[in-house]
Structure 1
């Protein structure tokens, strides 16, 4: 009988060393490729962006090919919430991209082919990304650049073994109904390792997750979708009840969105250099000129979202009857395809609440910020997707908590790690921030089990 995939993945998670990659030499390898693979982004006026234009009436930002993405305005009405309405810019990118990691077994241990890749919005330049990280416009050649390496493994999986394949959302506050195909594909054939690519065990990736700005967002979300060997355990709530809770929140929550002109946003300033909120908070829409080495295209112009402040993304966790649970928040964002997704316990930029009513301040934020070192199990600053967001960084935390089994609010519920794993087999249950934290939670489990 073939060994279960989850058991093989667990063996890779337990392997902290590999004959293919020595983590002691990782920094030298990363620095070496950082000299040959680099992007720089210089701010430019929106009107100066080549191949982009502002539509005459609305001011929306569009690519002349009609592909890639559009930045337009969105008017949001959320009756009954602490902030019942607002206007904002949002990125509309309807095409589904591929985020794919290629897996191959060496000496009985599955290894993951990762790429040292630079994105214009990365705060430190180079980060570790999936084997393939490409929009449909990229891998179909709209950018007229070099072909995307290894993409055929994911476009035609008939000759390989699919380990995971699920469409997942991205940031619902900045993207309008954006989805990417999160894929893990295993091959038994020979794979030529191109410059800038390297094989890692899952255990090695878990160790790198604890380092600031090394493992990028796209790698984290794909890692979260991997099969996970669960221990015999009991969850506080039946999964049927959890699904009913989510569906009830989706059915009872009202959030209306209306597309409006980018130039017509209330409480936003519009200048030659971009769009910003009158408060000076939240985020800006800027234009950049990108120069790239080691990419499919040597340079381009594009709009980007630049957030203000470092975010706080946190799971409160505790054991219930000996079983690890995380406190999930049924969260509404205007860009979600299905109204509500499960989010971390806390997901916010604290500085933004200086301009919002007190009732809008996130529940449990103060507990996370006040947590002492003895309660903090994971604490790493990780950046978000550098292809659309400029220097978007969040402090990811996992904090031991004594919040009771009944958290006292209908939008919060304790879920076991086994339940999160099962939900991740399906689309639109866990948001991208929660998926990153699931990857971080598994890294804690793996390093603890290997100790």
Structure 2
């Protein structure tokens, strides 16, 4: 590897004029002699069927190394590292939400989410991992080369060293993508991870849990339920793709595909300038009152703790549970930990339509309890429907009924994808991109604006703009070229 002299804070190859083209070429290659699709499918099936992973729900009293602290009731690790479950109180006039309190995960560390890439026969390939996480619905999912908290990759757990982490911590790394991004604002307090893509030219020692894949091969399985994990999706959302010039994948909807290509290019106009959109988001952050403070977990109202869970009194939102985990391929082969478990599957959807021949997505400026900077750009609809079933129409998310009742022929992307399995138990969303045509006007409101794909791709290069669900959908959108 060679040291690149990029300006501070700028990825080493960010100024390369052909960086986007290299990524786009990789996305256009949907099979590869390095790891043919048939070989990958067989390998991935073996990884899932190896029966080396066991996740069992346990009472809080059986947690090892974790305890409810006497003075505040917070659920903490004996080392003071990893994360804690604390309480949070929020007061806001945003969308008449008022005040509430809730448990929340407090993990101030910035972790690494990283993919190593290397050229084979002129095509970038990604070193991808079949990784077990205790909360994954299918246990093993396709993960980045490295996904690790600082506590993990610095060895606080006392286990094996994180495989390949040195490619991301070396000062001589060649960075292609480097972006600090948020995680789930409803469940994490200000949590961020460093999303990285590092290029190597040297040979890398092989490992049975890892395979080289093109981005096109990853896109092939991203459209399948619960195969590609959240950490892979958020890294791929930061890739600066150019307009695809390879084979057309989406042959069933030529008008949609043409509008998408125009939207990707950024050369065919948009309903709003990027400056206008940034001003709108800034105004959204400043327009409302949003005050929060941490409080003892024992002081959180409307939630009750039993021997094996902390649950909302109305059966909404999520539970805090405990699990015993056995995993032969992890740095530590057995441990216990708390997990957040949502009470039902969520929905995250972008409404899409052509405006003057250019595809636009309807983006929501959404506030969540733990969001680092008041609000971020979110999908048009992002929620657990159960939380709103007993509320009047004006208190329900706008467009929720449209999303839940979308006709099959309007769906351009539709897959069930899970959230981060290291902290959340069976937390998945039905991710949708819905082509609404002219059924939804191209008008905006205070909390929703129409944006092109190019504008979203521009903003995601920076922190504090797109939330993790919007980034998952942006990564998914690239499978529909």
What band does the TM-score fall into relative to the shorter chain?
A: over 0.9
**What is the match of residue 50 of structure 1?**
64
Choose from 95, 106, 112 the match for 2:126.
112
How far the C-alpha of 1:34 sits from its partner, in A, is 2.5
- Please, which moves more after superposition, 397-406 or 300-309? 397-406
| C-alpha distance in 2 between matches for 1:348 and 1:171 | 12
2:401 aligned with 1:338, yes or no? no
How far the C-alpha of 1:324 sits from its partner, in A, is 1.4
**SS of equivalent to 1:374:** helix
**What is the match of residue 5 of structure 2?**
none
**What is the match of residue 385 of structure 2?**
350
**What is the match of residue 406 of structure 1?**
443
Where structure 2 has 5 or more consecutive residues not aligned to the other structure, the ranges are: 1-14, 243-263
| C-alpha distance in 2 between matches for 1:443 and 1:80 | 34
How far the C-alpha of 1:208 sits from its partner, in A, is 0.6
**What do the CA deviations read for 1:208-261 (whole angstroms, capped 9, x no partner)?**
111000000000000000111142321211111111111111111221112112
**What is the match of residue 102 of structure 1?**
116
- Please, which moves more after superposition, 249-258 or 101-110? 249-258
**SS of equivalent to 2:96:** coil
**What do the CA deviations read for 1:339-395 (whole angstroms, capped 9, x no partner)?**
010000000111121344543211011111121111111110001100000000100
- Please, which moves more after superposition, 290-299 or 257-266? 257-266
| C-alpha distance in 1 between matches for 2:213 and 2:358 | 30
| C-alpha distance in 2 between matches for 1:334 and 1:3 | 40
How far the C-alpha of 1:81 sits from its partner, in A, is 2.9
| C-alpha distance in 1 between matches for 2:51 and 2:239 | 28
**What is the match of residue 308 of structure 2?**
273
Choose from 248, 252, 276 the match for 2:283.
248
**What is the match of residue 238 of structure 2?**
225
**What is the match of residue 217 of structure 2?**
204
**SS of equivalent to 1:410:** coil
- Say whether the 8 Å CA contact 1:82–1:359 is kept in structure 2: no
| C-alpha distance in 1 between matches for 2:426 and 2:407 | 27
**SS of equivalent to 2:218:** helix
**What do the CA deviations read for 1:243-298 (whole angstroms, capped 9, x no partner)?**
11111111112211121121221111111112101111211001111111111100
**SS of equivalent to 1:317:** strand
**What do the CA deviations read for 1:57-88 (whole angstroms, capped 9, x no partner)?**
32100000010001011111112533211111
Choose from 56, 75, 84 the match for 2:98.
84
**What is the match of residue 20 of structure 2?**
6
Matches of residues 322-333 of structure 1 in structure 2 within 5 Å? 322-333=357-368
- Say whether the 8 Å CA contact 2:231–2:420 is kept in structure 1: yes
**What do the CA deviations read for 1:288-345 (whole angstroms, capped 9, x no partner)?**
1111111110011111000011111000011111111111000011111110100000
Distance 1:439 1:379, change over 3 A: same
2:273 aligned with 1:260, yes or no? no
| C-alpha distance in 2 between matches for 1:391 and 1:82 | 30
| C-alpha distance in 1 between matches for 2:169 and 2:35 | 28
- Say whether the 8 Å CA contact 1:38–1:126 is kept in structure 2: no
- Say whether the 8 Å CA contact 1:37–1:293 is kept in structure 2: no
- Say whether the 8 Å CA contact 2:94–2:288 is kept in structure 1: no
**What is the match of residue 297 of structure 1?**
332
- Please, which moves more after superposition, 412-421 or 82-91? 82-91
**What do the CA deviations read for 1:192-220 (whole angstroms, capped 9, x no partner)?**
22111001111111111110000000000
Distance 1:225 1:157, change over 3 A: farther
**SS of equivalent to 1:16:** coil
- Please, which moves more after superposition, 188-197 or 299-308? 188-197
- Say whether the 8 Å CA contact 1:60–1:73 is kept in structure 2: yes
- Please, which moves more after superposition, 31-40 or 372-381? 31-40
**What do the CA deviations read for 1:141-169 (whole angstroms, capped 9, x no partner)?**
000000001111111242x3211101100
- Say whether the 8 Å CA contact 2:94–2:290 is kept in structure 1: no
**What do the CA deviations read for 1:380-433 (whole angstroms, capped 9, x no partner)?**
0001100000000100000001322213x2110011111011101100100000
**What is the match of residue 147 of structure 2?**
133
**What is the match of residue 191 of structure 1?**
204
- Say whether the 8 Å CA contact 1:37–1:292 is kept in structure 2: no
| C-alpha distance in 2 between matches for 1:25 and 1:370 | 38
Choose from 174, 198, 203 the match for 1:161.
174
- Say whether the 8 Å CA contact 1:96–1:178 is kept in structure 2: yes
2:457 aligned with 1:425, yes or no? no
- Say whether the 8 Å CA contact 1:121–1:389 is kept in structure 2: yes
**What do the CA deviations read for 1:34-71 (whole angstroms, capped 9, x no partner)?**
24474322111213211111111321000000100010
Matched residue count: 443
How far the C-alpha of 1:443 sits from its partner, in A, is 1.1
Distance 1:253 1:38, change over 3 A: farther
How far the C-alpha of 1:27 sits from its partner, in A, is 2.8
**What is the match of residue 413 of structure 2?**
378
